[in-house]
Amino acid sequence: MTGATGICEGRVVIVTGAGRGLGRAHALAFAAEGAKVVANDLGVGLDGAGCSESPAQQVVGEITAAGGAAVAHGGDIATTDGAASLVAAALETYGRLDTLVNNAGFLRDRMLVNLDEDDWDAVMRVHVKGHFLPLKHAAAHWRSEARAGRPVAARVVNTTSGAGLLGSVGQGNYAAAKAGIIGLTLVASAEMGRYGVQVNAIAPAARTRMTQDTFAGLSALPEDVSPLVVWLGSAASTGVTGRVFEAEAGRITVMEGWRPGPTADKGARWTPSEAGEAARKLLADSEPPQPVYGAR
């Protein structure tokens, strides 16, 4: 990262899916800002098949060659043991944990009628469970620290997607998983704030091996997203929690989620016809939804 300021000096940061794409960019950016990094990656293919420690090891090599500190973790963070060992790796290697960046994921895109149950389960597992379990184990550590009277300024950055915000044709499993991550982010922010933990999410748009086929015209780089992630993962982001940001190239957008729109109250039970008439009037006064990605 150019123009490094040391904003994460002394912090210990876990990045999942750190071997390639966005995760690699985040890991390198945190290290450039003074953080010690635990780089997790199973080294799987685009569809989650296979396994190799080499991507995580390569990122660690890049960080250490530049004078930084990093260690690789090759465990499956969608398992209890893998997630627990990931948090343990940070604590045992560096004696603390300050930031968790949940980024790991893969795609198995199909139209709904062609989407196999295994494709659904695999994508939900890596994205939703792969966010939940590291968050659970990191949060348990931070809660223990806070209860012991030790100050906590912890940060979690989850990774959602425009598919989770708006939907995406041919990505029903992925869109559902990414929408679930937003819900998890909101709940974790509300539950963990008392312990000094801030939880936010980003919806990045960048050209990686995961997006190159789905969004062929996308030219933004993973490195363009990382500055916001680094800031959210630093102590400088104090007071920012429970929010979702879109990040693409030089653009940052605060995403505003569901909130009450036009409403009608009869004060008694509606008949189906009355309910339909009321709904149509309310829809006429409401903002139309943003189009689903890929819809015609």
pTM: predicted TM-score of the whole model, two decimal places = 0.91
How far is Cα 24 from Cα 56, in angstroms, rounded to an integer? 8
- 90 contacts 12 by C-beta, under 8 angstroms: yes
Number of structural domains found in the chain? 1
Tens-of-pLDDT digits for all 296 residues of the chain? Answer: 456 789 999 999 999 999 999 999 999 999 999 999 999 998 755 544 555 558 999 999 999 999 999 999 999 999 999 999 999 999 999 999 999 999 999 999 999 999 999 999 999 999 999 999 999 999 999 999 999 999 999 999 999 999 999 999 999 999 999 999 999 999 999 999 999 999 999 999 865 445 445 545 556 899 999 999 999 999 999 999 999 999 998 899 999 999 999 999 999 999 999 999 999 999 999 999 999 999 87
Rg (CA), the chain: 20
In a domain, 139, yes or no: yes
In a domain, 164, yes or no: yes
In a domain, 152, yes or no: yes
Active site residues: 161, 174, 178
In a domain, 263, yes or no: no
Domain residues for 185?
12-255
Both ends of the chain: CA-CA distance in Å?
39
In a domain, 7, yes or no: no
The pair of structure tokens assigned to 119 is 């494709």
CATH of the domain at 150: 3.40.50.720
3-state secondary structure at position 241: coil
